[in-house]
Amino acid sequence: MSQTPVQEKLDFKALVAMGVGGMIGGGIFSVLGLSIQQAGHAAPLAFIIGGAIALLTGLSYARLGLHFQSAGGSFTYLEKAFHSQRFAAIIGWFLLVGYVGTMALYSYTFGSYGSALLSGGAPNSAAHHLLMSVVLLSFLGINLWGVRASGQTESLIVFIKVVILAGFAVIGFIYLDPEKLVPFFDQGLGGILLGAALIFVAYEGFELIPNAINDMENPERDLGRSIITAILITTLVYVTVSVVAVGNLTPAQIQQYGEYALAVAAQPILGKAGFVLIALAALFSTASAINATLFGTARLSYVMARQKELPPAFTLKSRRNVPWVSLLIITLVTLVFVNVANLQIIAAFASSTFLLLFALVNAAAFKLRHQIGLFGLWPMLGLVGAAAAWVMLLVDLYHHQQETLWWLLIFYGVVAGVELLFSQRRIGASDKEN
C-alpha cells in the first residue's frame, strides 16, 4: 500500500538561508561605493543604522506573520490593519515596482562588474548596457521555460556568497590601513544618515520569510528567530566588508570605481585574483537574485491579478504553468528602467520604496500591537527610523539631486495614478454587472 508523501517543511536553517540570500543578493556589491561616498569613513556605521531599522521592522514582520499566518505578507498586514483594500492594493503596486527597482539594481550591478571584468577594470558603457540587458532577457527565457533552482541549490548559493565575502573581510583586516579610517566622521552625521537611507535596499529580502509561513516546520519557534538571525548575519557581513573596503581604498578610487568598488577593494589584498574573485561573486549573486526576484514578482503579480488588483492578462499561464504575461511585462519595464536610469536613481528608487513600505508595516504592527502581542516601543521605533530615513533621502535629493527626485516622484505618481484608474474601471465594471 503506497503512502502519501510527506511535504518537506522549512526548518530554521532553511529560513535563515532564505533571509540572508534575499538580503545579500546584489545590493552590497553595488551600493557599497554609494555608501562610502555619502558616509565617508563612517560607512560601517551607516550599515549598522540600516541594520537596526531592518531589525526593528523584522520584529514587526515576525509578530504580524505569526498572527495572520498568511502568505499574503505585507498586503495582508496592511489590509487587516487599516481595513482598506484600495490602500493595500496601492501598496501592492508600489511593492511590485519596488521589486522592479531591485531587479534593475541587480542587473545594473551585473553589467558593471561584468564589463569591468571583461575590460580589465576599465569602465565600458557599451558592454555594461549589453550585459545588463542580456542577463534580464536570459532569466526571462529561463523562467518562461519553467526552470527554477531547488531549495538546496539556493542554500548552496547563499553559503558560497557568504563564504566569499567573509573570507574577503577576514583577509582584508590583515592588510587594513588604519590611517584610511580616520577621521571617522569625515562626512558628518548627515552623511552617515543619508548613507544608511541610500543603502537600505541592501536589507530588502528578510520580509520574504513570513511569506513562507505555511511551509515552515515550526513557525512559532522559528519565524521570529530566523528573521533576527538573518538580519544580524547580514549586518555583520556588511559592516566588516565596508570596514575593509574603507581601509583599503582611497577617496579617488571610490569616486572612480564606485559602481564596482568592492572588487577594486579586493585588488590591494589579493591582487588581480581578488578583483576577479569578487567580480565573479557579484555576477553569481546578482544573477541568482535576478532569477529569484523575477520568479517571485511574476507570481506576486499573478496573485494580485487573481484578486482583481491587476489587469486579467496577468493571470494568463502557459502550459508549463508559468505566468508568461507577468514575466514579459515585468522584464520589459525593468529593461527600460535599467537602461535609461543611472545607479543613483535606481538605488534611490529601490531604497525609498522599501523604506516607505517598512514604515507602513511598522505602523500596522503598532496599530495591532495588542492583538499580535508586540511591545509598542519596537514598531514605533521602526516606524520613526524608516520614515525619518525616507524623508531624509527625499530632502537630500531635493537639495543635491533634483533630477533623481523628479524621477522618483514621477514614477510614484504614475504608479498611483494607474492603480486608481484601474480600480475605478474595475468598480465601474462591477457596478454594471450588478
pLDDT at 238: 92
Q: Which positions of the chain have pLDDT values less than 70?
A: 1-8, 25-26, 71, 123, 146-155, 426-434
C-alpha cell at 220: 512559532
pLDDT at 153: 57
What residues contact residue 293 under an 8 Å CB cut-off, 6+ apart?
Answer: 25, 99, 102, 103, 106
With 0-12 / 13-18 / 19 or more C-beta atoms within 10 angstroms meaning exposed / middle / buried, residue 149 is middle
pLDDT at 362: 97
Q: Distance between CA 324 and CA 143 in Å, rounded?
A: 8
Q: Distance between CA 394 and CA 405 in Å, rounded?
A: 7
- Give the E-state strand segments of 211-362 in sequence order: none
Residue 216: strand pairing partners: 10
pLDDT at 31: 83
Cis upstream peptide for 312 (omega within 30°): no
Which contiguous run of DSSP H or E holds residue 412? helix 402-433
> Is 136:298 a contact under the CB 8 Å cutoff?
no
pLDDT at 4: 44
Q: Is the pTM of this model over 0.85?
A: yes
> What's CA 226's distance to the chain center, in Å?
18
pLDDT at 111: 93
CATH numbers and ranges of domains, the chain: 12-424 (1.20.1740.10)
pLDDT at 88: 79
Torsion sign (Cα): 385, 386, 390, 396 = positive
With 0-12 / 13-18 / 19 or more C-beta atoms within 10 angstroms meaning exposed / middle / buried, residue 284 is middle
pLDDT at 53: 96
pLDDT at 421: 83
pLDDT at 387: 96
Q: Distance between CA 332 and CA 172 in Å, rounded?
A: 40
* CA terminus-to-terminus distance, the chain: 52
188-203 pLDDT tens trace:
988 999 999 988 989 9
pLDDT at 5: 44
